[in-house]
Amino acid sequence: MPEIFINGHPVQAEKGQTVLQAALANGFYIPYFCWHPALSIAGNCRICVVQVEGRSWCEISCNLPVTDGMRVLTDSELVRAQRKDTMQFITLNHPVDCGICDKAGECTLQDYHYAYNGAPSISREPKVTATKFHDLSDRILLDNERCILCSRCVRFTREVSKSSALGITRRGDESLLRASEDGVLDRDAYSDNVIDICPVGALLSKSFLYKARVWYLKPTPSVCPGCARGCAVDIWHRKPEWKLRALDPQQNTSIARVTPRGAQGPDGPWICNKGRDLARIFERPRATAPMVKGKPVELAAALANVRSLIAAARHPAALVSGWGSNEEFAAFRAAFGDTFRVHVKHDHRPEPGEVVEDGFLIRADKNPNVAGARAVFGVGADSPPAWHGDTDLVLVWGEGCNFADLPRGAAVVFLNAYLAPENGHADVFLPISIATERAGHYTNFEGTVQGFAACFAKPQGASDAQALFESLATVAVATP
């Protein structure tokens, strides 16, 4: 392992590291725009310059390999002067529209201006104008005046998503980011990652555009339930101290955006576009009233009916939700033991036009915790279940069940979070919470266990499935 010196401090670097990587790994910050740990080196922004002692010039640290005994200065007078000049050049034609830019509060250019420049532009010439609000795709807007041509987005589509959907046309101050004309960016299932990695406000999410300032929001760690990969995500929602009391109070309890949680999950720093659209999955009309044979009742009365049905059943079966958490599976198992013949159910299946599976992140199983259910119950997800002819009670937990396929004459207890016709067709219906309203863990297809936390309070009338199972744990089940 080569030893280098950064600002006079000895640092053990890894073989093959660059000075930038070694510095960041050891607590020495060097600014950068175009460099990204998961992308190739472009070396075109020039803000990451350092000075090697004994040399009268600066060089970019992102493409400077470490050598044993190298002595590097990250904040010399020469480095500070060159960074200031670089910032003056980058901001030469950059618009000062931070007040309306969705990147405000997260903009690296903003931060670096105050850290390394801080002076008004020395230019008195009119700024070069370019296209604003250019449609790159159905999901992404481009503001070319804010683009600093770091090429992160171009490299992402070439190296990560493999769509090669983006490129830079023309030269000099006429250079423009553009999408290929065959519309492949619309078909790139990972396209929205370019919004995250854009260091400025050039690439904008249409679904988040002018929706909220980031300082009004806070991220809650969660797990994407869109497939068996279980990508680690942050669900952004409004902070209580910034609660809206007029305008649209519904924003207080809605998902503002979803972003990948760095490299902390099995997916690395990326997620697919479906993971960003969790609001479409979670924010559907909710069921909040327990029912017995289609008529609303109090929860206590509904639970009493469930107890009676379980106690009277001779051959009960259960369709366990592939969206249940490990804690809910454990509570079910503890409550009922081997009372029910368990089948694990796929709550969701691929939708028309959705990428079913690829060689990167997306899995064909569109449920987050089939592996966790298999570990608890010892059975996989059979589709359709092989019903026994004597089944006289079915507990259906979650979506995706066609009631017409259930055994004829069997009583049905249904646990579901959303409004659906089947709710009123069940003998007993119990409304339950969703993953943004409780904490728990999922086990992905590789066996990785990840936790998620609650963002919102569950609606009045809905119960956690775990609490329902625990309340039914004392049921005396008749033996056949």
- The residue with tokens 């997260």 is 106
Taking residues 133-142, what's their average pLDDT? 97
Average pLDDT, the chain: 94
pLDDT band at 475 (very low <50, low <70, confident <90, very high): low
User: pLDDT tens-digit profile of 138-171?
Assistant: 999 999 999 999 999 999 999 999 999 999 999 8
User: pLDDT tens-digit profile of 10-26?
Assistant: 999 999 999 999 999 99
Taking residues 323-339, what's their average pLDDT? 96
* 111: helix, strand or coil: helix
What pLDDT sits at residue 480? 41
What pLDDT sits at residue 377? 94
Please enumerate in sequence order all residues whose Cβ is within 8 A of that of 170, keeping only pairs 6 or more positions apart, or say none.
176
How many other β-carbons are positioned within 10 Å of the β-carbon of residue 434? 22
User: pLDDT tens-digit profile of 26-75?
Assistant: 999 999 999 999 999 999 999 999 999 999 999 999 999 999 999 999 99
Taking residues 180-202, what's their average pLDDT? 96
Q: Is the bond preceding residue 384 a cis peptide, omega within 30 degrees? A: yes
What pLDDT sits at residue 474? 67
- The residue with tokens 């943004």 is 436
Please enumerate in sequence order all residues whose Cβ is within 8 A of that of 276, keeping only pairs 6 or more positions apart, or say none.
192, 205, 207, 257, 258, 259
Distance between CA 189 and CA 446 in Å, rounded? 22
The radius of gyration of the chain from alpha carbons, rounded to an integer in Å, stands at: 28
User: Could you write out the DSSP letters of every residue in 81-108?
Assistant: HHHHHHHHHHTSS----TTT-TTTTT-H
Phi, psi of 311 (to 5 degrees): -65, -35
CA 380 to mean position of chain CA atoms? 26
- Which residues are registered as beta bridge partners of 431? 416
Distance between CA 276 and CA 224 in Å, rounded? 9
How many other β-carbons are positioned within 10 Å of the β-carbon of residue 105? 14
Number of residues in the chain: 480
What pLDDT sits at residue 478? 41
Nearest to 285 by CA among 420, 158, 162, 152: 420
| pTM, 2 dp | 0.93
Which domains are seen in the chain, by residue range?
A: 3-90 (3.10.20.740), 291-471 (3.40.50.740)
